[in-house]
Amino acid sequence: MRQQHLLLPTLREAPTEAEAMSHQLLLRAGYIRQVAAGVYTYLPLGQRVLQRLAAIVRSELDRAGAQELLMPALQPAELWQQSGRYELYGPELVRLQDRHGREFALGPTHEEVITSLVGSEVSSYRQLPLTLYQIQTKFRDERRPRFGLLRGREFLMKDAYSFDLDLEGLDRSYRSMFDAYVRILDRCGLNYRAVEADPGTIGGEGGTHEFMVLADIGEDTIVSCTNCGYSANMEKAEFAAARKVDARDSDSSGGCEDSVSSIAAMEKFHTPGIKTIEELAVFTGAAASDCIKTLLYVADGRLVAVLVRGDHEVNEIKVREALGAQKLELADEAAARNLAGVSFGFIGPVGLNVPLLLVDRDAANMPEAIVGANEDDYHMRHVVPGRDFAPTLVGEYRNAAAGDTCPHCSALLQFHRGIEVGHVFKLGTRYSEKLGATVLDRAGQTRTLVMGCYGIGVSRLLSAIVEQHHDPNGIAWPAAVAPFQVHLIQVSLKDEQQTALAESLYRQLREAGIDVLLDDRDERPGVKFKDADLIGIPIRVTVGKHAAEGLVEVKTRFGSADAVVMTVDELLLKTKGVREQ
Ligand code: 9G3
């Protein structure tokens, strides 16, 4: 392609509104433009990368035996009512009416449509296993669209659905998709982890894994073992229980019982305006780990207090599971006032009037603690769990934290930020039951299909790759996904020898099956090279001062190696097979 007539509007300055580096670079390098919050146009270069990604996804899914189809974005509300999800999802589900007043949704995902289809069209076990997929635009009205393509309201997703007769079949289908995802992300040149995840509201019965691209901008925290390969997202991550006796308690001979008698009676003290653990630690000179945080939640309508050590964070998934609750939300400040007559910062467990008091194991094991006094501007010290308040339940209700060790091998856990680009779920029969997807088995018995579902955010993948493949000058695409393989730059349009060589090379490279972008613009060399660095095509070929001798300068976008002067034949040899790696 000739750059002169290519719609490739590069920007000198980083757009101020773009928080993520990938968002800035995709705007600056002319890959995308924003149309509305979380809604983007893919310019020609952006579209080329999306097509490359889609091709990688297709080839690996086809290889795994999945079949491509295309379902509508416009979905009748009835299907969502049948699955029970029309009410379950709030404003995130984009709803609309047709001219007759019939209700529809713009598909945020396609479990309903596909299960209904397979329910009508598949009737025998002989047609199984079956995995179907599509690459299609999805709609989710996110509260906070952010980071460009990383959290959009309209985005491109590959979604796949497997149908099996039994759980063993599901395990095979799941494994085969999992393996395809590994190959896809490897081909995209990504540094990622497949982590154990929580099935969330979609309600999986078996396992679920997330594929997380390691990047600081990522909205998720990944916990992984430094020794054995265990990795999970923060919601799901477990850790080995700490030893019962605290290090500070080294003069006591054993368990809490011995030390309790030596601890003073609890005592209220004045802490004017001190509302956070950080303020409390500064004010008292104690460590955050000497304090206990008390948080109020509403679990399926019931009020619950959850206690964790001051330096720990509550894990709401673990709390929800311990309570067997569907829904868990932080209570609002009015509830705190109502209950204890105090504001949030001064709530504590002593004499607190809640039916359920969940205490994290590490908080329960503290010899003594500083807690809120349930009175504005006061805290209590020398509070002994068990002596001064009685937990309803003690368990693991917190997130893993620095210093925690692996639940399997006890090595130290480490933490990374990650961008979720893929997710595989074992769904079970939840949708097939509701939407009546059954087949007859070998014995002529009716069996409900066992499903899995598998997603890859294709547009998110594009951003995630840029997060991992850039430098201060711009993007540096892995060859397999680059919009072009070679960027051919003619330094001066006035030099006839350069024109002759550039045109002949352009033709020869294309004849060799290589995607070439020819910079034939009448611009200063500095502008051309700056744009080339920004755009990030892997191989840069400059036709300049050596053109008369038939020589070109070749430089790769990544690595610091200097440009190499070579003949056209050497170049043709070098560019052969760059895509295949
Ligand atoms: C909705 C809305 C938002 C949603 C969903 C439904 C996320 C929803 C989970 C999934 C699960 C899998 C197929 C591909 C793999 C992932 N956000 N999820 O179901 F109505 Cl508004 O989409 N779907």
pLDDT tens for 303-332 read: 999 999 999 999 999 999 999 998 899 999
Over residues 500-515, the mean pLDDT reads 96
Atom number, ligand 1, closest to the C-alpha of residue 141: 21
Asked if 188 contacts 501 with a C-beta cutoff of 8 angstroms, the reply is no
pTM over 0.75: yes
What pLDDT, on a 0 to 100 scale, did the predictor assign at position 136?
98
Give the CATH number for residue 430.
Answer: 3.30.930.10
CA of 173 from ligand 1 middle (Å) equals 20
The number of angstroms, rounded, from the C-alpha of 19 to the middle of its chain's C-alpha atoms is 17
pLDDT in tens, 177-204: 999 999 999 999 999 999 999 876 544 4
Question: Among 356, 380, 395, where does a domain finish?
Answer: 395
pLDDT in tens, 446-470: 999 999 999 999 999 999 999 999 9
Give the CATH number for residue 370.
Answer: 3.90.960.10
What pLDDT, on a 0 to 100 scale, did the predictor assign at position 207?
83
Q: Are residues 373 and 447 in the same domain?
A: no
Q: Are residues 59 and 179 in the same domain?
A: yes
Q: Are residues 500 and 382 in the same domain?
A: no
Q: Specify the residue with its C-alpha closest to ligand 1, atom 21.
A: 93
What pLDDT, on a 0 to 100 scale, did the predictor assign at position 200?
64
Confidence band (pLDDT; 50, 70, 90) for 248? Answer: very low
Atom number, ligand 1, closest to the C-alpha of residue 88: 20
Mean pLDDT of the chain: 93
Q: Are residues 62 and 92 in the same domain?
A: yes
Over residues 508-527, the mean pLDDT reads 96
CA of 108 from ligand 1 middle (Å) equals 6
Q: Is 88 in the pocket of ligand 1 (CB under 6 A)?
A: no
Higher pLDDT, 17 or 223: 223
Q: Specify the residue with its C-alpha closest to ligand 1, atom 15.
A: 455
Q: Are residues 451 and 488 in the same domain?
A: no
Confidence band (pLDDT; 50, 70, 90) for 15? Answer: confident
d(CA 280, CA 274): 6
Task: Give domain status of residue 284, yes or no.
Answer: yes
Task: Give domain status of residue 79, yes or no.
Answer: yes
Give the CATH number for residue 548.
Answer: 3.40.50.800
Q: Are residues 377 and 430 in the same domain?
A: no
Task: Give domain status of residue 155, yes or no.
Answer: yes
**Residue 442 pLDDT more than 90?**
yes
**Residue 258 pLDDT more than 60?**
no
Task: Give domain status of residue 400, yes or no.
Answer: no
d(CA 176, CA 160): 12
Q: Are residues 460 and 390 in the same domain?
A: no
pLDDT in tens, 523-557: 999 999 999 999 999 999 999 999 999 999 999 99
Beta bridge partners of 103: 97
Task: Give domain status of residue 237, yes or no.
Answer: no
What pLDDT, on a 0 to 100 scale, did the predictor assign at position 559?
81
CA of 101 from ligand 1 middle (Å) equals 26
Atom number, ligand 1, closest to the C-alpha of residue 200: 9
Atom number, ligand 1, closest to the C-alpha of residue 110: 13
And the tokens for 313?
A: 């964070």
Q: Are residues 499 and 457 in the same domain?
A: no
Task: Give domain status of residue 401, yes or no.
Answer: no
Q: Are residues 34 and 155 in the same domain?
A: yes
Domain with 79, as residue range(s), is: 3-206+425-466
Q: Are residues 455 and 358 in the same domain?
A: no
Q: Are residues 522 and 572 in the same domain?
A: yes
Task: Give domain status of residue 436, yes or no.
Answer: yes
Q: Are residues 390 and 330 in the same domain?
A: yes
And the tokens for 144?
A: 């906070």
Atom number, ligand 1, closest to the C-alpha of residue 105: 20
**Residue 246 pLDDT more than 50?**
no
* Number of other CB atoms surrounding residue 264 within 10 Å: 9
CA of 94 from ligand 1 middle (Å) equals 13
pLDDT in tens, 105-134: 999 999 999 999 999 999 999 999 999 999
Asked if 294 contacts 347 with a C-beta cutoff of 8 angstroms, the reply is yes
Q: Specify the residue with its C-alpha closest to ligand 1, atom 1.
A: 108
d(CA 378, CA 73): 56
Atom number, ligand 1, closest to the C-alpha of residue 157: 14
**3-class DSSP string for 312-358:** CCECHHHHHHHHCCCCEEECCHHHHHHHHCCCHHHCCCCCCCCCEEE
* Number of other CB atoms surrounding residue 49 within 10 Å: 24
Q: Which of 75, 96, 109, 162 gets mutated to test ligand 1 (max ligand atoms within 8 A of its CB)?
A: 109
The number of angstroms, rounded, from the C-alpha of 401 to the middle of its chain's C-alpha atoms is 20
Q: Is 356 in the pocket of ligand 1 (CB under 6 A)?
A: no
Q: Is 108 in the pocket of ligand 1 (CB under 6 A)?
A: yes
pLDDT in tens, 53-73: 999 999 999 999 999 999 999
CA of 151 from ligand 1 middle (Å) equals 14
Q: Is 107 in the pocket of ligand 1 (CB under 6 A)?
A: no
What pLDDT, on a 0 to 100 scale, did the predictor assign at position 247?
42
* Structural domains in the chain (count): 3
The SS3 of residue 542 is strand
Confidence band (pLDDT; 50, 70, 90) for 260? Answer: low
Q: Specify the residue with its C-alpha closest to ligand 1, atom 3.
A: 108
What pLDDT, on a 0 to 100 scale, did the predictor assign at position 509?
96
CA of 109 from ligand 1 middle (Å) equals 5
The SS3 of residue 410 is coil
Question: Among 438, 466, 494, where does a domain finish?
Answer: 466
Question: Among 395, 416, 442, where does a domain finish?
Answer: 395
Over residues 359-372, the mean pLDDT reads 97
Atom number, ligand 1, closest to the C-alpha of residue 424: 15
Asked if 374 contacts 347 with a C-beta cutoff of 8 angstroms, the reply is yes
What pLDDT, on a 0 to 100 scale, did the predictor assign at position 119?
98
Task: Give domain status of residue 407, yes or no.
Answer: no
What pLDDT, on a 0 to 100 scale, did the predictor assign at position 115?
98
Element (H, E) at 383: strand 378-383
CA of 202 from ligand 1 middle (Å) equals 7
The number of angstroms, rounded, from the C-alpha of 514 to the middle of its chain's C-alpha atoms is 34
Q: What is the torsion angle, in degrees rounded to the nearest 10, for the CA atoms of residue 393, residue 399, residue 404 and residue 406? A: 90
pLDDT in tens, 134-190: 999 999 999 999 999 999 999 999 999 999 999 999 999 999 999 999 999 999 999
**Residue 257 pLDDT more than 80?**
no
